[in-house]
Structure 1
Amino acid sequence: MSHAAHPAPAALHADRLRPAAKGWCPGAHRAMASGDGLLVRVRPQLARLTSAQALGLCELASRLGSGLIDLTHRANLQLRGVTPDAHGAVIDALCALGLADADATREAWPLVLVEPCWQAGDDTEGIATELLSRLNELPALPPKFGFAVDAGPAPVLAAAPADVRIERARSGGLLVRADGAAAGHPVSRAGAVDAALAMADWFAATAKGVEPASRRMRRHQQIFSWADGPQPLEPAAASASLPTPGMSSLGPVYGVPFGQIEAAALATLLRDSGAVGLRLTPHRALVLEGGRWCDARAFITMAGDPLLRVDACPGAPSCASATVATHAVARALASGLAAAGTGAPRSLHVSGCAKGCARARPADATLVGRNGAFDLVRSGCAWDAPVQTRLSPEALCSLIGMP
């Protein structure tokens, strides 16, 4: 049903807090209920799957799920539409593929995010492998607490979610940096994991001492008081970009529109490319390790594709919190961006509700579903005050050229 555009009521212009979201991420053993069934998350070590593992996951998604796979901002994959009755079979299959651990307690250990272009034996692979082997040494930490091992020639994960970062320093060495801090503590490769674990220990010991208790490093009120690290502090090297659609040193790179993959399309691409492995990035892209370039209409193949400028959550009916469908609207807006020229927003976010799960940082224009229509937020997040409300999907396209 079409609705006319309305200015936002005055009450909506007050600053708003982000609505409460789940305080944990789904896993394989601990699936999360959604509007289309259970979400079962897979956390591939070093953000890499062999071709056999990836094809097995595609088959599993088609056979016991909805046939859709999400690529998350933490470089994880999750199967959608799994029924409760099929959940046990999915876990067994993931364990057989080497994509889940039979010990469910390991799922609660912090995530280790890695820069996707690591090479065997380099600093990123060596440090991340050691860190993964020592996560059992950590105390209890908040569910979304995590590490980033970003030790390539230049950091590429600055915008990716992590609490403790192991990065390339401006001097060319390594440092351990608390997320949100302007500089980090210089470390050797041999001492990097010890320092990262010590920082996490410090967080666990001090986060409960503030009110409210800190759940993420960036918001920790005592972030600059960690005195156990080496001195003096040093800034990280200038950030570089994550792989974008096109060819990379590892193989072809394909973007994933809105982070949602059709399992059948991914299986076809893997087979046609001859890739030996699949690397995941936290920026909605797949790297086909050792593969050849193939035409793939289901994926983004050009670095300048306007779809890369649009974030969108699954929306209704996939998500029970959403009251609007998001992907069709997001595609229409992306098509408009291509034709609108320089006056169009550089970034768009289409959110099914005010939680803003698809994008936690501000966008030039954010469209928020509410009671079957959309509110418009300019230069903000989904939970910020809108400047217009009750917009119909048809009315949104005319906003592409908004000043």
Structure 2
Amino acid sequence: MTEFDVKGWCPGALRPMQSGDGWVVRVRPRLARLTRAQALGLCDAAQSFGAGLIDLTNRANLQIRGVSDAALAPLQQALAALDLLDSDADLESRRNILIAPDWADGDDSARLWAELAGRLAELPELPPKMGFAMDAGPAPVLSNDPADFRIECGQHGLTLRAEGRALGMALQHGQEIDSLIRLCRWFVDTGGAQSGRMARHHAPLPDWAIWDAAPAPPSRAPFRAGAMPLGLVVGAAFGQIIARDLAQVLAVSDVPAMRVTPWRCLVLEGVTAAPALPASLIVTPDHPALRVDACAGAPLCPQASVETRALALELAPMVDGSLHVSGCAKGCARARAADITLIGRDGRFDLIMQGRTDATGLSRSQILTRFERL
């Protein structure tokens, strides 16, 4: 198997990551929301200091790609002026907090996000990719999104649940973050750092709580492109937005703010009808480009040996189920198995169908011919 480099941390704005097209600078907007001014400023920064592209991540963050060495400091200064920069890199790296995107002012999800964000310094030193989910709405909506510790709606009130465990502990109002921080300390004290993630840590849960609280059934589905009560949901193929196109939409609409979701889409608050949109922004819920996952691929990622996204777009109309095209064996673009997976290896592809290897060493043309016959 081709060797690849597994990064042990996630990029930030103060601690960016080098990629094949320059620095990747990740912005973690508070409550996953940007005001109109912040969103327009971010679009301008992506065009002025990067390649003009903004990625939506599965942790509801935003990434500016293609930042040169010379542009990095001016970009950070621009983000600070927009109030999108943390006070230091350590706190930034800890603020991996997902929030149910339909939170409202003063509700439990917003209250708990704000309290945890204000108490990050109390957390023990956790592995850098660990994160949290504040999913305290009427039913969980983030169950399939990445988090190690979840505060979510249970069958009889809010619960704290460790990832990989079916049941959690019932929470007392006002003590939720106290319990979360205590569970994080248990994780470290019992050797969890060696496991790296909560789902891989199999130590018995601490006996200072009763772990019998079931989460409420996940009756709410992730947002889909189109209109909803909160506003207009706008999707982007592979979660990559052309900054110029987004700025154009913001400029001609009265949207007061924009929310970021972990589902490769944005919510334009208060927009009830779709304005004229550039082709890169999608409001059709069943658009084929929104059903496929593909990483940046070559040449943008030095780990990848194949181009991914153009191939994925060409295959999308041919595939009924889920499709994942990965530039290497890491599979960064999708955490869970897809019906069909293509994995780049030494400039060609291995084909995985329903979890089983179907063919290896396929060229791009061989793949297209095969799928045209399905």
Q: Is the 8 A contact 1:110 1:145 kept in 2?
A: no
**Greater mean alpha carbon deviation, residues 385-394 or residues 346-355:** 385-394
Q: Which residue of structure 2 aligns with residue 207 of structure 1?
A: 191
**TM-score of the aligned structures, taking structure 2 as reference length:** 0.95
Q: Distance in 1 between matches of 2:323 and 2:79?
A: 35
Shift of 1:86: 1.2
SS of 1:189's equivalent? Answer: coil
Q: Identify the match of residue 340 of structure 2 among 365, 381, 387.
A: 365
Q: Distance in 1 between matches of 2:83 and 2:22?
A: 24
Q: Is the 8 A contact 1:127 1:189 kept in 2?
A: no
Residue 52 of structure 1 pairs with residue 37 of structure 2: yes
Q: Which residue of structure 2 aligns with residue 128 of structure 1?
A: 113
Q: Identify the match of residue 298 of structure 1 among 260, 263, 280.
A: 280
AA matched with 2:241: I
Residue 184 of structure 1 pairs with residue 168 of structure 2: yes
Q: Is the 8 A contact 1:95 1:102 kept in 2?
A: no
AA matched with 1:181: R
SS of 2:23's equivalent? Answer: strand
1:123-162 paired onto structure 2 within 5 Å: 123-162=108-147
- Gapped regions of structure 2 (runs ≥ 5): none
SS of 1:288's equivalent? Answer: strand
Question: Could you list the per-position Cα deviations for residues 230-268 of structure 1 after superposition, in whole angstroms to 9, with x for gaps in the alignment?
Answer: x35111011121211111111000111101110001111
Q: Is the 8 A contact 1:368 1:376 kept in 2?
A: yes
Q: Is the 8 A contact 1:50 1:278 kept in 2?
A: yes
% of aligned pairs identical?
48
1:1-400 paired onto structure 2 within 5 Å: 20-171=5-156, 173-208=157-192, 213-222=194-203, 224-229=204-209, 231=210, 233-239=212-218, 240-292=220-272, 293-296=274-277, 297-337=279-319, 344=320, 346-380=321-355, 386-400=357-371
Q: Distance in 2 between matches of 1:319 and 1:273?
A: 35
Shift of 1:386: 3.4
Report 1 or 2 for greater relative contact order, CA contacts < 8 Å, sequence distance ≥ 6: 1
Q: Is the 8 A contact 2:315 2:371 kept in 1?
A: yes
AA matched with 2:217: A
Q: Is the 8 A contact 1:276 1:290 kept in 2?
A: yes
**TM-score of the aligned structures, taking structure 1 as reference length:** 0.88
AA matched with 1:152: G
Shift of 1:306: 2.1
Q: Distance in 1 between matches of 2:15 and 2:211?
A: 42
Shift of 1:20: 5.0
Q: Is the 8 A contact 1:110 1:143 kept in 2?
A: no
Q: Is the 8 A contact 2:159 2:169 kept in 1?
A: yes
- Computed over aligned residues only, the root mean square deviation of the Cα atoms, in angstroms, reads 1.8
Question: Could you list the per-position Cα deviations for residues 274-316 of structure 1 after superposition, in whole angstroms to 9, with x for gaps in the alignment?
Answer: 2111111111110011224223221221222222221000111
SS of 2:334's equivalent? Answer: coil
Q: Distance in 1 between matches of 2:5 and 2:205?
A: 29
AA matched with 1:320: P
Q: Distance in 2 between matches of 1:315 and 1:105?
A: 29
Shift of 1:203: 0.7
Q: Distance in 1 between matches of 2:40 and 2:208?
A: 45
AA matched with 1:202: W
- Gapped regions of structure 1 (runs ≥ 5): 1-11, 338-343
Question: Could you list the per-position Cα deviations for residues 308-347 of structure 1 after superposition, in whole angstroms to 9, with x for gaps in the alignment?
Answer: 221000111111111211111010011223xxxxxx4x11
Do the aligned partners of residues 177 and 324 (structure 1) sit closer, same or farther apart at CA in structure 2, a change above 3 Å counting?
same
- How many residue pairs get aligned? The number is 371
Q: Is the 8 A contact 2:14 2:88 kept in 1?
A: no
